[in-house]
Protein backbone atom coordinates (compact mmCIF):
# COMPACT_ATOMS: atom_id res chain seq x y z
CA UNK A 1 0.00 0.00 0.00
CA UNK A 2 1.42 3.42 -0.88
CA UNK A 3 2.55 5.48 2.07
CA UNK A 4 3.85 8.52 0.26
CA UNK A 5 3.60 11.82 2.04
CA UNK A 6 4.61 15.40 1.55
CA UNK A 7 6.38 17.57 4.10
CA UNK A 8 3.40 19.56 5.31
CA UNK A 9 2.83 19.37 9.07
CA UNK A 10 0.04 17.32 10.56
CA UNK A 11 -3.29 19.14 10.63
CA UNK A 12 -4.02 17.56 13.99
CA UNK A 13 -1.21 19.20 15.90
CA UNK A 14 -2.76 22.61 16.33
CA UNK A 15 -0.40 25.39 17.24
CA UNK A 16 2.40 24.12 19.50
CA UNK A 17 3.65 27.64 20.18
CA UNK A 18 0.25 29.12 20.84
CA UNK A 19 -2.12 26.33 21.85
CA UNK A 20 -4.65 28.92 22.97
CA UNK A 21 -4.52 30.36 19.48
CA UNK A 22 -5.58 27.10 17.89
CA UNK A 23 -9.06 27.87 16.66
CA UNK A 24 -8.83 25.75 13.56
CA UNK A 25 -11.76 23.40 13.02
CA UNK A 26 -10.96 20.00 11.58
CA UNK A 27 -13.20 17.46 9.96
CA UNK A 28 -12.72 13.78 9.20
CA UNK A 29 -14.44 12.77 5.99
CA UNK A 30 -14.90 9.01 5.60
CA UNK A 31 -15.74 8.11 2.02
CA UNK A 32 -17.83 5.07 1.08
CA UNK A 33 -16.47 2.46 3.50
CA UNK A 34 -19.29 0.08 2.60
CA UNK A 35 -19.52 -3.68 2.28
CA UNK A 36 -19.84 -3.75 -1.51
CA UNK A 37 -16.53 -1.90 -1.87
CA UNK A 38 -14.76 -4.20 0.60
CA UNK A 39 -16.14 -7.69 0.20
CA UNK A 40 -19.10 -7.34 -2.14
CA UNK A 41 -19.80 -6.77 -5.81
CA UNK A 42 -17.29 -3.95 -6.30
CA UNK A 43 -14.55 -5.01 -3.90
CA UNK A 44 -11.10 -3.50 -4.37
CA UNK A 45 -8.16 -5.63 -3.19
CA UNK A 46 -6.98 -4.70 0.32
CA UNK A 47 -9.94 -2.37 0.86
CA UNK A 48 -10.43 -3.91 4.30
CA UNK A 49 -7.05 -2.47 5.33
CA UNK A 50 -8.46 1.06 5.49
CA UNK A 51 -10.72 0.32 8.44
CA UNK A 52 -8.21 0.10 11.29
CA UNK A 53 -6.37 3.34 10.40
CA UNK A 54 -9.72 5.09 9.95
CA UNK A 55 -10.77 3.95 13.42
CA UNK A 56 -7.43 5.14 14.82
CA UNK A 57 -7.96 8.60 13.38
CA UNK A 58 -11.48 8.83 14.74
CA UNK A 59 -10.34 7.75 18.18
CA UNK A 60 -7.78 10.53 18.35
CA UNK A 61 -10.70 12.67 19.47
CA UNK A 62 -9.47 15.80 17.74
CA UNK A 63 -12.15 16.26 15.10
CA UNK A 64 -14.85 18.89 15.31
CA UNK A 65 -16.88 16.88 12.84
CA UNK A 66 -16.92 13.33 11.49
CA UNK A 67 -18.95 12.83 8.33
CA UNK A 68 -19.42 9.58 6.42
CA UNK A 69 -20.47 9.52 2.79
CA UNK A 70 -22.53 6.58 1.55
CA UNK A 71 -22.88 5.55 -2.07
CA UNK A 72 -26.66 5.06 -2.14
CA UNK A 73 -28.21 3.90 -5.37
CA UNK A 74 -31.75 3.00 -6.34
CA UNK A 75 -32.23 -0.25 -8.23
CA UNK A 76 -31.68 0.22 -11.99
CA UNK A 77 -29.20 3.01 -11.32
CA UNK A 78 -27.57 4.53 -14.39
CA UNK A 79 -24.13 3.29 -13.34
CA UNK A 80 -25.12 -0.39 -13.21
CA UNK A 81 -24.11 -2.57 -16.14
CA UNK A 82 -27.33 -4.54 -15.72
CA UNK A 83 -29.41 -1.39 -16.26
CA UNK A 84 -28.03 -1.14 -19.80
CA UNK A 85 -28.18 -4.85 -20.59
CA UNK A 86 -24.59 -5.58 -19.58
CA UNK A 87 -24.96 -7.77 -16.48
CA UNK A 88 -21.67 -9.50 -17.35
CA UNK A 89 -19.88 -6.46 -15.94
CA UNK A 90 -20.81 -7.90 -12.56
CA UNK A 91 -18.55 -10.89 -13.16
CA UNK A 92 -15.49 -9.47 -14.84
CA UNK A 93 -13.32 -6.96 -13.03
CA UNK A 94 -11.60 -6.07 -16.31
CA UNK A 95 -14.91 -4.63 -17.54
CA UNK A 96 -15.45 -2.39 -14.51
CA UNK A 97 -15.43 1.26 -15.44
CA UNK A 98 -16.31 0.59 -19.09
CA UNK A 99 -17.37 3.80 -20.81
CA UNK A 100 -20.85 3.50 -22.24
CA UNK A 101 -22.86 5.96 -24.32
CA UNK A 102 -26.62 6.04 -23.97
CA UNK A 103 -29.52 8.42 -24.57
CA UNK A 104 -31.21 9.82 -21.50
CA UNK A 105 -35.02 10.29 -21.31
CA UNK A 106 -34.61 13.69 -23.02
CA UNK A 107 -32.81 12.07 -25.95
CA UNK A 108 -29.48 13.62 -24.98
CA UNK A 109 -26.45 11.37 -25.39
CA UNK A 110 -24.66 10.73 -22.12
CA UNK A 111 -21.42 8.97 -21.35
CA UNK A 112 -21.49 6.77 -18.29
CA UNK A 113 -18.93 4.49 -16.67
CA UNK A 114 -20.52 1.12 -15.99
CA UNK A 115 -19.94 -0.81 -12.77
CA UNK A 116 -21.36 -3.93 -11.17
CA UNK A 117 -24.64 -3.38 -9.35
CA UNK A 118 -23.57 -2.02 -5.97
CA UNK A 119 -24.64 -0.14 -2.86
CA UNK A 120 -28.35 -0.46 -3.48
CA UNK A 121 -30.08 1.59 -0.78
CA UNK A 122 -30.44 -0.34 2.50
CA UNK A 123 -29.02 -3.57 1.03
CA UNK A 124 -26.30 -5.54 2.87
CA UNK A 125 -23.74 -4.27 0.38
CA UNK A 126 -24.77 -0.70 1.14
CA UNK A 127 -24.09 -1.07 4.87
CA UNK A 128 -20.89 -0.17 6.63
CA UNK A 129 -18.80 -3.14 7.73
CA UNK A 130 -19.25 -4.05 11.39
CA UNK A 131 -15.58 -3.33 12.10
CA UNK A 132 -15.92 0.34 11.13
CA UNK A 133 -16.46 2.29 14.32
CA UNK A 134 -19.30 4.78 14.29
CA UNK A 135 -20.17 7.57 16.69
CA UNK A 136 -23.42 8.96 18.01
CA UNK A 137 -22.58 12.41 16.61
CA UNK A 138 -21.51 11.26 13.16
CA UNK A 139 -23.04 13.05 10.20
CA UNK A 140 -24.11 11.21 7.07
CA UNK A 141 -24.18 12.22 3.41
CA UNK A 142 -25.91 10.05 0.82
CA UNK A 143 -24.82 10.35 -2.80
CA UNK A 144 -25.82 8.73 -6.07
CA UNK A 145 -29.46 8.72 -5.04
CA UNK A 146 -30.72 10.01 -8.42
CA UNK A 147 -31.39 7.06 -10.71
CA UNK A 148 -30.14 9.04 -13.73
CA UNK A 149 -26.99 10.57 -12.24
CA UNK A 150 -23.84 9.08 -10.80
CA UNK A 151 -21.94 10.76 -8.01
CA UNK A 152 -18.31 10.01 -7.23
CA UNK A 153 -17.76 13.14 -5.17
CA UNK A 154 -19.49 13.56 -1.82
CA UNK A 155 -20.04 17.24 -2.71
CA UNK A 156 -21.54 17.13 -6.21
CA UNK A 157 -23.11 14.75 -8.68
CA UNK A 158 -20.78 13.94 -11.58
CA UNK A 159 -22.41 16.50 -13.87
CA UNK A 160 -21.82 19.13 -11.17
CA UNK A 161 -25.43 20.34 -11.45
CA UNK A 162 -26.65 19.20 -8.06
CA UNK A 163 -24.94 19.48 -4.72
CA UNK A 164 -25.24 17.36 -1.61
CA UNK A 165 -25.64 18.95 1.81
CA UNK A 166 -22.02 18.24 2.72
CA UNK A 167 -20.59 21.72 2.18
CA UNK A 168 -23.47 23.39 4.01
CA UNK A 169 -22.99 21.00 6.92
CA UNK A 170 -19.23 21.55 7.13
CA UNK A 171 -19.73 25.29 6.96
CA UNK A 172 -22.26 25.15 9.77
CA UNK A 173 -19.55 23.50 11.88
CA UNK A 174 -16.90 26.02 10.83
CA UNK A 175 -14.69 23.31 9.32
CA UNK A 176 -11.68 24.58 7.40
CA UNK A 177 -9.42 21.52 7.27
CA UNK A 178 -10.45 18.12 6.02
CA UNK A 179 -8.72 14.79 6.33
CA UNK A 180 -10.21 12.43 3.77
CA UNK A 181 -10.00 8.64 3.98
CA UNK A 182 -11.94 5.75 2.48
CA UNK A 183 -12.79 4.10 -0.81
CA UNK A 184 -11.49 4.29 -3.37
CA UNK A 185 -8.53 6.61 -3.77
CA UNK A 186 -8.64 7.15 -7.55
CA UNK A 187 -12.41 7.53 -7.82
CA UNK A 188 -14.62 8.79 -4.99
CA UNK A 189 -11.83 9.94 -2.66
CA UNK A 190 -10.15 11.80 -5.52
CA UNK A 191 -13.26 13.55 -6.80
CA UNK A 192 -14.32 14.47 -3.26
CA UNK A 193 -10.89 15.93 -2.53
CA UNK A 194 -10.85 17.95 -5.76
CA UNK A 195 -14.27 19.41 -5.00
CA UNK A 196 -13.19 20.17 -1.44
CA UNK A 197 -10.27 22.18 -2.80
CA UNK A 198 -12.66 24.09 -5.08
CA UNK A 199 -14.81 24.81 -2.04
CA UNK A 200 -11.84 26.33 -0.25
CA UNK A 201 -10.93 23.66 2.30
CA UNK A 202 -7.40 22.69 3.18
CA UNK A 203 -7.41 19.04 2.18
CA UNK A 204 -5.34 16.15 3.45
CA UNK A 205 -5.55 12.51 2.40
CA UNK A 206 -4.23 9.74 4.65
CA UNK A 207 -2.67 7.46 2.07
CA UNK A 208 -2.64 4.45 4.39
CA UNK A 209 -6.39 4.78 4.96
CA UNK A 210 -7.36 4.49 1.31
CA UNK A 211 -6.68 2.10 -1.59
CA UNK A 212 -6.81 2.58 -5.35
CA UNK A 213 -8.91 0.65 -7.84
CA UNK A 214 -6.66 1.69 -10.75
CA UNK A 215 -3.61 3.91 -11.15
CA UNK A 216 -2.50 5.29 -7.78
CA UNK A 217 0.31 7.48 -9.10
CA UNK A 218 -1.81 9.19 -11.75
CA UNK A 219 -4.46 10.09 -9.20
CA UNK A 220 -1.87 11.21 -6.63
CA UNK A 221 -0.17 13.51 -9.16
CA UNK A 222 -3.50 15.05 -10.10
CA UNK A 223 -4.41 15.65 -6.48
CA UNK A 224 -1.07 17.16 -5.53
CA UNK A 225 -1.22 19.45 -8.54
CA UNK A 226 -4.50 20.84 -7.24
CA UNK A 227 -3.11 21.40 -3.76
CA UNK A 228 -4.23 18.29 -1.90
CA UNK A 229 -1.69 17.30 0.75
CA UNK A 230 -0.77 13.66 1.21
CA UNK A 231 0.19 12.17 4.54
CA UNK A 232 -0.29 9.06 6.60
CA UNK A 233 -2.34 8.25 9.67
CA UNK A 234 0.86 7.70 11.61
CA UNK A 235 2.03 11.18 10.67
CA UNK A 236 -1.31 12.77 11.48
CA UNK A 237 -1.27 11.11 14.88
CA UNK A 238 2.25 12.16 15.68
CA UNK A 239 3.42 15.56 16.86
CA UNK A 240 5.85 17.00 14.35
CA UNK A 241 7.49 20.34 15.08
CA UNK A 242 5.98 23.44 13.56
CA UNK A 243 2.54 24.87 13.52
CA UNK A 244 -0.35 24.05 11.28
CA UNK A 245 -2.23 27.26 11.70
CA UNK A 246 0.77 29.49 11.28
CA UNK A 247 3.40 27.60 9.30
CA UNK A 248 5.94 30.38 9.69
CA UNK A 249 5.63 30.11 13.45
CA UNK A 250 8.27 27.83 14.86
CA UNK A 251 9.08 27.30 18.50
CA UNK A 252 12.80 27.35 17.83
CA UNK A 253 12.91 30.65 16.03
CA UNK A 254 10.03 32.68 17.38
CA UNK A 255 8.80 31.18 20.61
CA UNK A 256 6.61 32.80 23.15
CA UNK A 257 7.10 36.38 21.99
CA UNK A 258 5.64 35.60 18.62
CA UNK A 259 2.78 33.88 20.35
CA UNK A 260 2.01 36.95 22.41
CA UNK A 261 2.16 39.18 19.34
CA UNK A 262 -0.18 36.87 17.52
CA UNK A 263 -2.62 36.91 20.39
CA UNK A 264 -2.42 40.68 20.70
CA UNK A 265 -3.16 41.45 17.09
CA UNK A 266 -5.40 38.42 16.53
CA UNK A 267 -3.46 37.79 13.37
CA UNK A 268 -4.89 35.05 11.22
CA UNK A 269 -2.59 33.21 8.89
ZN1 LIG B 1 -21.84 3.95 -7.08
- Which residue in the list 18, 32, 71, 195 is annotated as catalytic? 32
Residue 190, CA distances (Å) to 109, 154, 216, 218, 221 in order: 26, 10, 10, 11, 11
Question: Which pTM does this prediction carry?
Answer: 0.83
% of the chain beyond a pLDDT of 70? 80
Cα 176 to middle of ligand 1, angstroms: 27
Report the pLDDT averaged over residues 144-153.
93
pLDDT of residue 249: 42
Tell me the C-alpha distance between 120 and 118, whole Å.
Answer: 6
Cα 5 to middle of ligand 1, angstroms: 28
Q: What is the pairing mode between strands 202-211 and 177-183?
A: parallel
Cα 263 to middle of ligand 1, angstroms: 47
- Which residue in the list 36, 119, 143, 235 is annotated as catalytic? 143
Contact 186, 214 (CB under 8 A): yes
Tell me the C-alpha distance between 210 and 98, whole Å.
Answer: 23
Residue 32: active-site member? yes
Tell me the C-alpha distance between 10 and 101, whole Å.
Answer: 43
Cα 173 to middle of ligand 1, angstroms: 27
pLDDT of residue 10: 63
Report the pLDDT averaged over residues 30-42.
97
pLDDT of residue 258: 55
| Domain map (residue ranges) of the chain | 23-74+119-240, 78-116
211-223: burial string, b at 16+ Cβ within 10 Å, e else: bbbeebeebbeeb
Residue 118: is it exposed, middle or buried by C-beta count within 10 angstroms (0-12/13-18/19+)? buried
Count of residues making up the chain = 269
H-helix or E-strand containing 245? none
Cα 31 to middle of ligand 1, angstroms: 12
Cα 106 to middle of ligand 1, angstroms: 23
Q: How confident is the model at residue 236 (pLDDT cuts 50, 70, 90)?
A: confident
Residue 269: active-site member? no
- Which residue in the list 188, 195, 208, 235 is annotated as catalytic? 188
Residue 143: active-site member? yes
Q: How does pLDDT run across 6-26, given as a tens digit for each residue? A: 666 566 655 544 544 456 788
CATH number assigned to the domain covering 23-74+119-240: 3.40.50.850
Tell me the C-alpha distance between 150 and 143, whole Å.
Answer: 8
Cα 198 to middle of ligand 1, angstroms: 22
Q: How does pLDDT run across 169-212, given as a tens digit for each residue? A: 999 999 999 999 999 999 999 999 999 999 999 999 999 999 99
| Average pLDDT, rounded, for the chain | 84
Amino acid sequence: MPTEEDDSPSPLVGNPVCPQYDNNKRGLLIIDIQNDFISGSLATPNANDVIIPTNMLRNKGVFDDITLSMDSHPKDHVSFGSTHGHPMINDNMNDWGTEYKWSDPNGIEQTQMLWPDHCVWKSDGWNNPDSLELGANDHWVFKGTDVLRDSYSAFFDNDQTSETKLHAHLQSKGIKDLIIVGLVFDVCVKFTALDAIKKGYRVYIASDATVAFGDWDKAADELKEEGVRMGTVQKYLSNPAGSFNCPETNADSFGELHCKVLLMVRFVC
